[in-house]
Amino acid sequence: MKDLGWKPNRLSPVPLHRQIEEYIKGKILNGEWTIGTKIPSQRQLADSLCVNRSTVVTALDELTAQGLLEGKKGGGTKVINNTWSLLAANPPLDWNSYVRSGIHHPNLPTVQEINRAEFYPDMIRLGTGELSPELLPYKQMQNIWDRLSVRMMSLGYEEPKGDLFLRQAVTEHLKNIGIHTSPSSVLIVSGALQALQLISIGLLHRGSSVLLEKPSYLYSVHVFQSAGMKLVGVPMDEQGIQTSFLPRYRKQYGGALLYSIPSFHNPTGILMTENRRKDLLTTCEQERLPIVEDDVYRDLWMDCPPPMPLKANDKNGNVLYVGSLSKTVSPGLRIGWVVGPEPVIERLADIKMQTDYGSSSLSQWAAAEWLSSGLYQEHLSYIRRELKSRRDATIDLLQKHFGNIASWNVPKGGFYIWLRFIPSIPIRELFEKALKEGILLNPGNVYDRDTTQYIRISCSYASLSDMEYGLARLSIIIRDLMNKCELPRT
């Protein structure tokens, strides 16, 4: 019998059989004794370890009881299991240390709270950035599934850039807004957020800076920061991002890319004017600064269509254009697209294949049907009417309850009203007090750390009665806070 190279420590307070048990467990855990390995006989072990046979038997019996070993009469004892779950029983694995070491940054604590609270029953969600269940097209979706079920469909993986029929439908849809492209320059993604994720890991190196509007939706997710990038906020005015800052910021922070939401910006609702769009395109061309144009709200105009997307005037392929069905049809479909130069699209498609082998083909067929059947445009007319009436009602309520304590924009489309408090309000306290009363808020600092006196109101989610109650109640909570803190009223 070869020497095992180890002996139990007789001076240790740990009983000999326990030491042997741990030793054998270690061998299994390390993969030295893999499943199926026949371990030395009881006698061999006793000899090698210089212990009584009964000590070995106690250790082996324990390991057998734990499911790691199995003894067969005449066939010796074998390793039959090495699962982490079995081994984790003793000692327990410290998963928290793994959780802390993960590469991706966690959400902001407030965002985590919002994500949880959104699913509490009867919560009034004043800032949620999605269509209300009342506005989601359940019936039309049912019709689409019925139609699809009689079509011959492949249940396999789709090609790397996504289903060709859907990419064709997307290119047709984009023609209506002045973007002329072909399916080979389109990548189907699982929502616009995935497009941003792919761009962050596929096109930029660690340490790069991303310029963006301040505030921005992008601050509320940690896609670029988790890939080692810095976000550099550029001031906005009522026409959009202030392009005059860009050359200096580009130089000072070495910006590698500009991320912008020109149409019905999240969270401010600002619509970038046509002139500002021209300026932005020209400045970025001069600065050799690529643009990611996030246009997920474009189709939700209320009064008149917004100016053409930046991408429509992008003759040099500087703009990566991102769209999605989440805000107009269904966030649950998880279907969006990126349009850009072919090498970029191929790079992103390659990473997407390595990430998830493509977006759900069922969702892709449904999306193609939405876009190609005319149903999408029909549904949009309804949504625009509804959003407009919700916006008007919300503005009336703000005038009624917040007239002397806040100011706000009147959005021309999209979901958001950016409410600025005139007296200084402790927003965290406001958030907590409102939450206790079943009212969920989206505080402004989620979209920019320094933006402490704002909340994002969304006209798209809460029903009119919830909005009425929620805003009235909120104004009372604010006035109570003002009294408590003796805040100046103007």
Ligand X SMILES: Cc1ncc(COP(=O)(O)O)c(C=O)c1O
| Residues lying near ligand X in the complex (CB under 6 A) | 129, 191-193, 217, 261, 266, 294, 296, 324, 326, 331, 336
| 337 and 446 Cβ atoms separated by less than 8 Å | no
Minimum distance between the CB of residue 70 and ligand X, rounded to whole angstroms?
49
**Which CB sits closer to ligand X, 192 or 231?**
192
**Which CB sits closer to ligand X, 69 or 227?**
227
Beta strands 255-260 and 209-214 are parallel
Between CA 341 and CA 204, with CA 162 as vertex, the angle to 5 degrees is 45
Rounded Cα–Cα distance for residues 129 and 266 (Å): 9
Q: Any idea of the CA torsion for 191, 196, 197, 203, to the nearest 10 degrees? A: 140
* Closest CB to ligand X: residue number: 191
Rounded Cα–Cα distance for residues 18 and 36 (Å): 23
DSSP-based three-state secondary structure for 188: strand
Minimum distance between the CB of residue 359 and ligand X, rounded to whole angstroms?
11
Minimum distance between the CB of residue 27 and ligand X, rounded to whole angstroms?
47
Between CA 96 and CA 333, with CA 190 as vertex, the angle to 5 degrees is 110
**Which CB sits closer to ligand X, 331 or 423?**
331
- Going by C-alpha positions, the residue among 94, 91, 19 that lies closest to residue 59 is 19
DSSP letter at 288 equals T
Minimum distance between the CB of residue 2 and ligand X, rounded to whole angstroms?
60
Strand-by-strand arrangement of the 336-339 sheet: 186-189, 336-339, 319-324, 291-294, 255-260, 209-214, 230-237, 240-241
Minimum distance between the CB of residue 278 and ligand X, rounded to whole angstroms?
22
**Which CB sits closer to ligand X, 118 or 468?**
118
DSSP letters of 385-402? HHHHHHHHHHHHHHHHHH
DSSP-based three-state secondary structure for 352: helix
Minimum distance between the CB of residue 220 and ligand X, rounded to whole angstroms?
8
| 172 and 371 Cβ atoms separated by less than 8 Å | yes
Minimum distance between the CB of residue 193 and ligand X, rounded to whole angstroms?
3
Minimum distance between the CB of residue 221 and ligand X, rounded to whole angstroms?
8
**Which CB sits closer to ligand X, 42 or 460?**
460
**Which CB sits closer to ligand X, 336 or 358?**
336
DSSP letter at 39 equals P
**Which CB sits closer to ligand X, 300 or 349?**
300
**Which CB sits closer to ligand X, 40 or 127?**
127
